[in-house]
Amino acid sequence: MPRWGLLLAPWVVLGLCLVPRLMRPDWGPRADAEFTPPRDLRIDSTLEYARYGDRVLHLDLYRPAKVSRALLPTVIVMRGGGFQHGDNKGFAFIAAALAQAGFAAVCIQYRTTAVARFPAPIHDAKAAVRWIRANAATYRLDPDAIGAIGGSAGGYLATFLATTGGLAEFEGNGGNPGESSRIGAAVAMATAADFVDLQPYPREVPAVLEAFIGAPIERMEAERRAASPISYVTAASAPLLLIHSDTDPSVPYAQARLLQQRYAAVGADADLFTVNGGPHDPWNYTRWFADVMTRSAAFLKARLDPNRRTGSTPTR
C-alpha cells in the first residue's frame, strides 16, 4: 500500500465517524457516556491474554459480584472502530450489562491496522477464546459455554469466530495453543458479510479496507473473498444473532440479510433483529441499548444452555 494511503486511512475512518454525527438526526443520549462500572460486579482489569513477541494484549474480565458454585457462561466483547480502534475499554458498558445478566464478560484489546492487517484481529479473538478455556478453573468460567458479541468491526470479528471454528489458518500464535477456539454462539451488530462486491458500500469503505486488507483493493478479489465472513459459513457454524439497522449508512442492511440467507442455505442457525430507522450503531444510544442487550443476553443464554449441548468436548 502506498505511504500516502497509510497516512490517509485514519483520516477516512475519522470522517466516517464525524460526518454522520454532523448530518444525522438527534438519536438522544448515548449509553456509553461517562460510563461508571456498577458496584455489583467484580472486575479484573488488564489481564494479559495474548503475546506476539514484545507486543502484549490485555482484557478486562467482568463477573457478577455474588459468588456462585455454578460456572459462568462467558462472552467475549469486542468494540467497533473501523479496525483503527481496538482497546478493551470502549465496550465496557456492554460487558457490564452482560455481567449483570449473569455472564462473565471479557472485553478484549485487539490489534488495529496501525500495527497489523487481516487476519491479525481474528487471531487475537481466537486467542481470547483459548485464554478463557485455559483459565476457566481460576475464574470459574464455563469452558463449554463461550459466546461472543461485537459491534461494527467487533461484530465482524464475532462473525468470524462463529464461522471459522476448526480452521487452522485463523488460529494465530497468541498463546494457549492446546485449547480450542470454537464458540457456541455469537451476536454480530452491524457486521459486514461480503467484501467481494464493493458496490453496495459507501465510497469511503475501500480506503478502510485497503488499510485492513491491502491495496489496490479493487484488484484483490481473492483477498477480499478471504476476508469475507460469508465465505466460511457451513452447517457447523455457531448460532448467530444479527442486529442491524435498516437505514445503516456505513454497512448496508443487505449484508445482514445476505448472511442470514447463507446460514439458512446450509441449515445453520441465524436470527436477524432489525432496528427500524436507526443509526449504524444503535447499541450506543439509550433508546435502543436496553432492548439490544435484552435480546442479546436472551439469545446467548438460550444457545449456550447446557441442555442444548451434545456433551462433546470442543475441538479445533
Domain range 3-21+43-306, CATH architecture: 3-Layer(aba) Sandwich (3.40)
pTM over 0.85: yes
pLDDT, mean of residues 126-149: 98
pLDDT in tens, 154-210: 999 999 999 999 999 999 999 999 999 999 999 999 999 999 999 999 999 999 999
How far, in Å, CA of 64 to CA of 134, rounded? 20
* pLDDT greater than 50 at residue 10: yes
Bridge partner residues of 285 (DSSP)? 30
How far, in Å, CA of 135 to CA of 116, rounded? 27
* pLDDT greater than 90 at residue 257: yes
pLDDT in tens, 66-90: 888 899 999 999 999 999 999 999 9
End-to-end C-alpha distance for the chain, whole angstroms? 34
* pLDDT greater than 60 at residue 16: no
How far, in Å, CA of 73 to CA of 62, rounded? 12
Chain CA centroid to CA 150, Å: 3
Grade residue 24 by pLDDT with cuts at 50, 70 and 90. Answer: low
Quote the radius of gyration of the chain (alpha carbons, Å).
Answer: 18
Question: Residue 216, preceding bond cis, omega within 30 degrees?
Answer: yes
Phi–psi pair at 242, nearest 5 degrees = -100, 130
3-state secondary structure the chain: CCHHHHHHHHHHHHHHHHHHHHHCCCCCCECCCCCCCCCCEEEEEEEEEEEECCEEEEEEEEEECCCCCCCEEEEEEECCCCCCCCCCCCCHHHHHHHHHCCCEEEEECCCCCCCCCCCHHHHHHHHHHHHHHHCHHHHCEEEEEEEEEEECHHHHHHHHHHHCCCCHHHCCCCCCCCCCCCCCEEEEECCCCCCCCCCCCCCCHHHHHHHHCCCCHHHCHHHHHHCCHHHHCCCCCCCEEEEEECCCCCCCHHHHHHHHHHHHHHCCCEEEEEECCCCCCHHHEHHHHHHHHHHHHHHHHHHHCHHHCCCCCCCC
* pLDDT greater than 60 at residue 4: no
How far, in Å, CA of 50 to CA of 56, rounded? 6
| 315 CB neighbour count, 10 Å cutoff | 8
Q: Decide: 242 and 259 in contact? Cβ < 8 Å.
A: yes
Phi–psi pair at 147, nearest 5 degrees = -125, -175
pLDDT, mean of residues 22-33: 82
Lowest mean pLDDT among 4-18, 110-124, 275-289: 4-18
Each domain of the chain, given as residue ranges in start order, spans 3-21+43-306
pLDDT, mean of residues 287-303: 98
